[in-house]
Amino acid sequence: MTHELWRLTAHEAHELLRRREITCVELTESVLQRIEEVEPTIHAYITVTAELALEQAREADERYAAGTATPLTGIPVAVKDVIVTKGVRTTAGSRMLENFIPPFDSHVAERLRRAGAVMVGKANMDEFAMGSSTERSAFGPTRNPWALDRVPGGSSGGSAAAVAAGECLVALGSDTGGSIRQPAALCGVVGLDPTYGRVSRYGLIAFGSSLDQIGPIGRDVEDVATMLDCIGGHDPRDSTTNPEPMPDMRHYLGRDIRGMRIGVPKEYFAEGIEPGVRDAVERALRRFEDLGCEVEECSLPSTKYALAVYYLIAPSEASANLARYDGVKYGFSDRSHGSMWENLEHTRAKGFGDEVKRRIMLGTYALSAGYYDAYYLKAQKVRTVIHQEFARAFERYDVLATPTSPVVAFPLGSRLDDPYAMYLADVCTLPAAVAGLPAISLPCGESEGLPVGLQLIGNFFDEGRLLMVAHAFERSFGWANRLPEIPGGRTP
């Protein structure tokens, strides 16, 4: 029994731990054994922290004995390697930070430690969270557990793949333009991008500061809600976090959603959506009608501009944020040349990968004299228009429903030489990110034998209603905790 514990959801594991039917050490050993079996194939992790995990598991068992356990005590968690962890290497998937060991914990790492969670490793990712396939990691690509020749999505592909492969029970990712939701869709798990300001960015290595948000990935909606309860709330070290008390997200689960109004923006079903994806999402919408919801087509006409807006604003902010990697203060440094300026130039040339360089150049150009008004400032104005359109939509609808990704997981290497095709992988997730809205992806079917994700978008700081609708759909649909077969590992 104990060697199969990696199959459990976090809430199932907590119940067994609470009843003292298993121990935290047994649960952690099961997950670590699963990592040992499938990690050479999947490559979901950059760093596996086995010794630390077992130490934390022993401490978690003591908390259960003392009656001070939380729903996450003893639960094996993967943390995306863009989130700093005290004393544990944090690379952001880049050679620039290959040997960086942070002297402090991020806010979310503090919260996980306080809850008694067990960190089993730092998950692989696209370098500095810039990518949609986890092929842009300096440490090699991650493979999709459902099809080893396919990408897991990105940039949180390692986190999503780890959850799908049983290499952890829940994980943390970060989402700037879709980096939690898109890999969750491609890997057949649940991923939530909270409202901008719901979760502190303190200790998150910055990419696009007005867009970045940390969020949970799990095998079902309840696990995602439990993680958000742990990591959400005000943090005085991040002035953008919401100062209002945070509601208990699990309190919203299990409610009847009859009468809920669901808007379906027609712009998300435009050219480029694979027929199999469209069919799965349309079947999901009919299921909402069966659950008593009012489902109605609507329009968000500025949606088509979100891609352009994002790829001006995010690279511009990246250009500013990544200026700190100069080979002087910390991280990789090439000091083999004659002058400081030559050393700086070669440090950045060797330390950054091609996609990071591409986005730095895009952003620097958009911010440069003579182009700022034409590009960056105009993008910010269109961002406001997109925000206003969503606000009007939520005057009528409780949630909006769309595909998460226009396609299922695509073959490894198929888009690496076509940046625009890669960027289009996030076309359905970008609008909510640009507006700062909460959005969740959950499995809604299959196409070509691969998972399809349904995206639900909620109003600002209305994650409770979003999780309530997602949970009702999940219970009706019955996908939760479905695991893929992985060659070389024990299969379901």
Residues identified as active-site: 80, 155, 179
Q: Given phi > 0 = left and psi -120 to 50 = alpha, else beta, which region is 208?
A: beta
Nearest-10 Cα torsion for 89, 90, 95, 98: -10
- 222-257 as b/e: b if 16+ CB within 10 A: bbbbbbbbbbbbebeeeeebbeeebeebbebbeeeb
d(CA 322, CA 333): 14
Cis, bond preceding 155 (omega within 30 deg of 0): yes
439 near 227, Cβ under 8 Å? Answer: no
CA 438 to chain CA centroid, nearest Å: 12
What length does the chain have? 492
Phi, psi of 158 (to 5 degrees): -65, -40
Neighbours of 335 (CB within 10 A): 12
**Which has the closest alpha carbon to 428: 418, 415, 441?**
441
286 near 258, Cβ under 8 Å? Answer: no
467 near 221, Cβ under 8 Å? Answer: yes
Q: Distance between terminal CA atoms of the chain?
A: 13
Strand partners for 452: 445
Burial of 447 (0-12, 13-18, 19+ CB in 10 A): middle
